[in-house]
Amino acid sequence: MGPTVGDRIAVSGGYDFKPDWLGDRPEVTGSIARWIPGQNTKPACVVRLDAPLTATGLVRGKRESRSGQYLELKLRYVGQEWEASGTVHVELCENEPDDQSWADREVGAWVESNATYSVPA
């Protein structure tokens, strides 16, 4: 069974040991706020962080700095399912993302393509 609304979640880097988007933190933590339409068939996970985060990432192809208290996590691999841990794309959002597909909503900054998430048991 995968994570559910209200579950605690931790998100850390992927390829880089100390990714820029995390600043000096080893990870960010928060709670799963809700599920919204993803870019593919699987839903995206909206996380409300315990503390705001500022990072630079791609916003519709342009590098921009964003600050926000929400992450949108999207599954990384074809056929992947939401489980207790896995690999995701990370988008940092200034506001809680709308319940619309990525193409139809205000997007955040894409800060990581290969992050690791974990939901403690």
**């597909």: which residue's tokens?**
101
Which pTM was predicted? Answer: 0.93
pLDDT at 1: 61
Q: How far apart are CA 80 and CA 111, in angstroms?
A: 20
Q: How far apart are CA 120 and CA 47, in angstroms?
A: 15
Of the candidate ranges 9-13, 14-18, 71-75, 79-83, the one whose mean pLDDT is the lowest:
14-18
